[in-house]
Every structure is written in structure tokens, then in C-alpha cells.
Structure 1
Amino acid sequence: MSELNKPRPPRQPRTGTTSTGARKAASKSGRSRAREFVLQALYQHILSGNDASDIDLFTRDLAGFHKADVAHYDAVLHGCISTAADLDRLIEPKLDRKLSEISPIEHAVMWIGVYEFQNCIDVPWRVVLNECIELAKEFGGTDGHKYVNGVLNGLAPQLRATEVAADKARPAADGSGDEA
């Protein structure tokens, strides 16, 4: 049998990131998927002002929803919508422009981050921050993730004071401290 006719071994599934840097679906946790669906629902809510239950029903019918952590999705979506004004009051002082000038994607991502800082204490603050940055990279504008990072990093010491202080006091693994 010539080299050209030999059967090839099956390709291993790829994991990690796509060529654009977005995380591939195979590597996403149920909570990460839940956040993506929450982001889609919040985006729709911000743009349309539609009722939360209508948006929720629509979102649950989207492809891949069955792989999301439904309890996390429910808590974050309904929590963000019901406390939107409170979340905005926390976010606005950290902005360098009016909230109405912020992209709906970045606005929704910030809602998710602030809500999780306040209500999802089982999720470390750095995980919340990183997940929100990834959402903004994947779905937001070119540098939207930097803006989200700045706002949420500014709110973390206020909303997770003890946890942030403990992290900053702990030396980094390389012994150089936590300057980042």
C-alpha cells in the first residue's frame, strides 16, 4: 500500500482556543456556558427592554443551552435584571463616560461581574474577573475587555475586600509579589 493510500489515524479533538482567541466550546465549563447565555439574554434585555421571563424562555431554546449550568444561569440572569439599577449605581462611579455610551455587551458583562462579586461568593473574585474579561473579548468590541477589566478591577476591592486584600498580601509563586 502506498503512503497516499494508507488510512490516517483519526484526528484528536482540539481544545483550547480558536484562531481568534475565543475559547472552544469543548473546553468551557457549565458555568462559563451559563454566563454566555446570560450575556445574550442581558444584551436582549438592555436593547429591547423585554420582560425577563420572555427573554428567559427564548434563551433556553438556543442551541447548546442544555450544557449550561442552569442554576447559575437562573441566579445571574434574574439577579442582574432585578437589581439592574443597584448594579448601575456601583458601576457608574468607575466609568469615564456616561453609562448610556457604554456598549450593551460591556454593560451586560459588567452587570454579570458585579452581580457575581456580590452574590456568588463561592466563585473566587479572580475567576469572576477572568470570566468577564473572556466574555468581553469573545463578544465585545476590540478593546472592550480592557474597559471591563478596569471597571471590575476597580470594584473588586470594594465588593470583595477581604478576598482581594488576602490575594494581594500573598506573594506570587515566583516570589516577586503581586504587582499586576
Structure 2
Amino acid sequence: MKQRQRERRFALQLLYALPFHPALTEADLARAFDNFRADANCPDLEREGSYAWELVRGVWQHHEELDAIIAQHATGWKLSRIATVERAILRLALFEMRQMHLPFKVAVNEAVELAKAFGEEGSRVFVNGVLNAAGKALALHEAACA
């Protein structure tokens, strides 16, 4: 497994476990990252400067915006009804596309692989559908702004 994929998996697992509430501070987030790193037996994964930390911190900082995008494109689904793992995968992929400028196809492919590994039977189809809808809307928005 490539380093970036390994760090993405790590970030997903931590994001899955995090409670997203206003009382969570960045210091709490850093402590959770370091504790999870020890529990996940990833002593070589440093927090500062790592792709995993960028993902975790970025998703945490932008989760409300990311959730609004998910809610808009998960047709027929309330955000609260989307399983925690799928919501974490979608947040991660959308953050990578929007803020880290990961190419759309790469972000979708990586998200689908995470859904296969961690989600339920239909997770990959659901994740793929929501990301495709969000990606098309993002592309249209970027074209209109250009």
C-alpha cells in the first residue's frame, strides 16, 4: 500500500471515531491523533507535516461545509441517516477534491476503495453516486467562475 493511501486510511479511521461537536478543540484533535497513532501501531506516522494530519485537521475544520455538500447531493437521504463510515469517507474525499485539489477521478476511486474496505455492501455505490453528483456540481461551478 502506498504511503498516501496508508495515511488516508489512518485519517478515515480517526475521523470515524471523532465526535464532531463544538467543544472539540484543535488541541483535543491533536491529542486524539497522537493517541490513535499509538493504538493503531503507526509510530512512524508523525502528526506535523503528514498527509494524515492535513486530512484530519482539514475535515474537522470544514466538516459543516462538507456536510452541506453531502446533504445537497445525497438525494433522498438526511445527513443523520447516512452511516458514520460513509459520511467520513464522503467528507474526506470532498475535502481532498476541494481543498487539496486531488483530481476528481482519483478522489472518487480512493473513496470507493475505502468504502469497499470499511463500508457495508452498498457503500461503494452510494459513495460513488454522491461524489459524482458533487463533482459535477463543483466542475460546473468552477467553469462558471472561470
TM-score w.r.t. length of structure 1: 0.67
Unaligned segments of structure 1, at least 5 residues: 1-27, 165-180
Distance (Å, rounded) in 2 between the aligned partners of 1:68 and 1:149: 31
Equivalent of residue 37 in structure 2, options 44, 51, 60: 60
| Pair member with larger Rg | 1
Distance (Å, rounded) in 2 between the aligned partners of 1:58 and 1:45: 12
1:172 matched residue in structure 2 = none
Asked if 1:148 corresponds to 2:127, the answer is yes
CA drift at 1:135: 0.3
The Cα offsets for residues 122-164 of structure 1, whole Å up to 9 and x where unpaired, read as: x321111100000011001111111000000111122345999
* Secondary structure of residue in 2 paired with 1:149: helix
> In 1, are the aligned partners of 2:115 and 2:124 still within 8 Å (CA)?
yes
Distance (Å, rounded) in 1 between the aligned partners of 2:67 and 2:133: 14
CA 124–65 in structure 1, closer or farther in 2 if over 3 Å, else same = farther
CA drift at 1:94: 1.1
> In 2, are the aligned partners of 1:136 and 1:144 still within 8 Å (CA)?
yes
* Secondary structure of residue in 1 paired with 2:77: coil
Equivalent of residue 102 in structure 1, options 68, 71, 82: 82
Q: Which residue identity is paired with 1:54?
A: R
Name the count of aligned residue pairs.
136
CA 140–65 in structure 1, closer or farther in 2 if over 3 Å, else same = farther
Distance (Å, rounded) in 1 between the aligned partners of 2:135 and 2:106: 12
CA 106–56 in structure 1, closer or farther in 2 if over 3 Å, else same = same
Distance (Å, rounded) in 1 between the aligned partners of 2:16 and 2:10: 10
TM-score w.r.t. length of structure 2: 0.82
Unaligned segments of structure 2, at least 5 residues: none
> In 2, are the aligned partners of 1:30 and 1:67 still within 8 Å (CA)?
no
Q: Which residue identity is paired with 1:32?
A: Q
CA 163–93 in structure 1, closer or farther in 2 if over 3 Å, else same = closer
Distance (Å, rounded) in 2 between the aligned partners of 1:75 and 1:158: 24
* Secondary structure of residue in 2 paired with 1:97: coil
The Cα offsets for residues 51-109 of structure 1, whole Å up to 9 and x where unpaired, read as: 42232112221224636996211111100001110110111011221111111100000
Map of 1:139-178 to 2, 5 A cutoff? Answer: 139-161=118-140
Higher relative contact order (CA 8 A, sep 6+): 2
1:42 matched residue in structure 2 = 15
Q: Which residue identity is paired with 2:35?
A: F
Identity rate, percent: 29
